[in-house]
Amino acid sequence: MDPCSALMLNCSQPDPLALLEALAPILNLSAIRPVRNMSTYTDVHTSFIMYGILGVKWQNEFIRWDPEQCGTDKISLPRTKFWVPDIVINEFMDHNTAPHVPYVHLSYNGMVHDSLPVRVVSSCNLNIYTFPFDVQNCTLTFNSYIHVVKDIRINLDEPVEDILKRSRDVMTTVGEWELLDISVNKHTLDVDGIKANRVDELMFHIRVKRRAMIYVVNLLIPSCFLITVDLFSFLLPPQSVDRSSFKMTLILGYTVFLLLMNDLLPITGNTVPLINVFFSICLGLMVASLLETILISNLLCGSSNFSPVPHWIQVVLPGSLGRLVGLSSKPKKQRDSDMKASDLVTEEDRAGEKPPEGMEMVLELKDKALEELQKLGKDLQAIRQQMDQHVTENTSTEEWVEVGFIIDRLLFCLYILFISVTFITIICLWVNSYQQ
């Protein structure tokens, strides 16, 4: 029997051994494409499950047998015994590490089925701007590496809806990705612009969405908690050292948190993810609030060494901005800058007066009392000047303290406004991307 022209194999017994003996001449033809006429092209049917299994089927025209005569309609034989089409995935970026399967299935009608596990490390162009609420579009292109259209034509083995359904069933509980859709396109590519070198390509377009819950729980919620604690730390007294030390501890803890969670963040992509911007804003706000606390503490604790508050600051801060943030200016204390001097009778005032006789001893005692009173008056005048200076310094200090509290309240309001606008913007971008 000429194997190249065989249409039907005959088995001596209905068992696999007899079938294998009948196939022996055909198995020696693994070096050539299994067609009786080399001008006939081979249809290769391609399908896959989105889990790493590539299914390829083609027709071997040299093989056909009667299932009843040979006792089986299918047999598994070593892959090396058959001609296997060179179907490759263009996006392959690494060596296939899936388990090697050395067998193919051979059916009684000559159909060879190769279920080859493939672990694809693809060169998908990832868009991680909206990570972890991102949707990725990947393409897997199947074509022949050597054979052109006149030798091999690649077709879809089953409807793409069935591929999508089976892939979703497999990926229900596997991995962090949720399969959204699979579509397929087939086109013919001219190699080097020569029509004779046209090759078939089967392109599968895959849309997957990341399951974001693990990132929300491990990254976003802790960051929101920490920035909320930093926000409420403004309620602590600004002149207290505990407020600044509390904020420094919070910044240190947030930095350690980012270092520990760095492995969960993506390391590939051409754009900076929004979540990185979110973390940077949170850290920047914490640093800004610490600097604000240092400024206010210095203003409140060192105001006694400052010059009086300038008039324009009194107009802008305690006046306009004070009412805006709900801190009205305190009424100024009315102080008497003038004190009446004591009417002390000096010796010169009585120079023209002649005391009556018998009163000289009394006048001498009065003169001594007047001298003591004059000394006491000078001492009281010095004390009054010191008290006036002290009152003036206290008034300046109170004005600077009032300015410090108003600035602290103003920055607190700006802090809340900036956090609200920034977070709402980032959340809107994430929601918009997640719903597309």
- The model's pLDDT over 81-96, given as tens digits with 9 standing for 90+, comes to 888 888 888 877 677 7
How far is residue 73's CA from residue 65's CA, in Å, rounded to a whole number? 8
Instruction: Kindly indicate the confidence band of residue 436, based on its pLDDT and cuts at 50, 70 and 90.
Output: low
How far is residue 147's CA from residue 156's CA, in Å, rounded to a whole number? 18
pLDDT at residue number 255: 92
Per-residue pLDDT, averaged over 269-284, amounts to: 85
pLDDT at residue number 12: 80
Per-residue pLDDT, averaged over 104-130, amounts to: 82
pLDDT at residue number 335: 38
Please determine, for residue 102, whether its predicted confidence score (pLDDT) is greater than 60.
yes
How far is residue 38's CA from residue 32's CA, in Å, rounded to a whole number? 10
Per-residue pLDDT, averaged over 116-132, amounts to: 78
SS3 407: helix
- Which ranges in 302-359 belong to alpha helices (H)? 311-314, 322-324
Select from 93, 83, 98 the least CA-distant residue to 42.
83
Cβ 377 vs Cβ 210: under 8 Å: no
pLDDT at residue number 101: 84
How far is residue 183's CA from residue 172's CA, in Å, rounded to a whole number? 19
Select from 224, 236, 228, 222 the least CA-distant residue to 292.
236
Q: Which residue has the higher pLDDT, 335 or 241?
A: 241
Average pLDDT over the chain, rounded to whole?
Answer: 76
pLDDT at residue number 348: 42
pLDDT at residue number 350: 44
How many helices (H) and strands (E) in the chain?
A: 10, 10
136 Cβ contact partners less than 8 Å away, ≥ 6 residues apart:
124, 126, 127, 177, 207, 208, 209, 210
pLDDT at residue number 283: 92
Least confident of 127-136, 183-192, 385-394: 385-394
Instruction: Kindly indicate the confidence band of residue 304, based on its pLDDT and cuts at 50, 70 and 90.
Output: low
Per-residue pLDDT, averaged over 230-239, amounts to: 81
Per-residue pLDDT, averaged over 196-203, amounts to: 82
Please determine, for residue 353, whether its predicted confidence score (pLDDT) is greater than 90.
no
How far is residue 117's CA from residue 111's CA, in Å, rounded to a whole number? 19
Q: Which residue has the higher pLDDT, 192 or 226?
A: 226
Segment 402-422, tens digit of pLDDT: 777 777 788 888 888 988 898
- Which ranges in 261-306 belong to alpha helices (H)? 274-301
Q: What is the pTM of this model?
A: 0.64
Q: How far is CA 141 from CA 122, 274, 320, 365, in A?
A: 10, 31, 67, 123
Please determine, for residue 262, whether its predicted confidence score (pLDDT) is greater than 70.
yes
Which strand (E) or helix (H) includes residue 48? strand 42-49
In our burial notation (b when 16+ CB lie closer than 10 A, e otherwise), range 22-61 reads: bbeebbebeeebbbeeeeebbebbbbbbbeebbbbbbbbb
130 Cβ contact partners less than 8 Å away, ≥ 6 residues apart:
273, 274, 429, 430, 433, 434
pLDDT at residue number 402: 72
Please determine, for residue 138, whether its predicted confidence score (pLDDT) is greater than 70.
yes
Cβ 157 vs Cβ 55: under 8 Å: yes
Q: Which of 82-91, 209-218, 247-256 has the highest mean pLDDT?
A: 247-256
Cβ 327 vs Cβ 403: under 8 Å: no
Percent composition of the chain: helix, strand, coil (DSSP 3-state, to 5): 45, 20, 35
Which strand (E) or helix (H) includes residue 143? strand 135-144
Assigned token pair, 266: 């993506």
Instruction: Kindly indicate the confidence band of residue 355, based on its pLDDT and cuts at 50, 70 and 90.
Output: low
**What is the DSSP code string of 116-136?**
EE----B------TTTTS-EE
pLDDT at residue number 364: 67
Select from 383, 410, 393 the least CA-distant residue to 322.
410
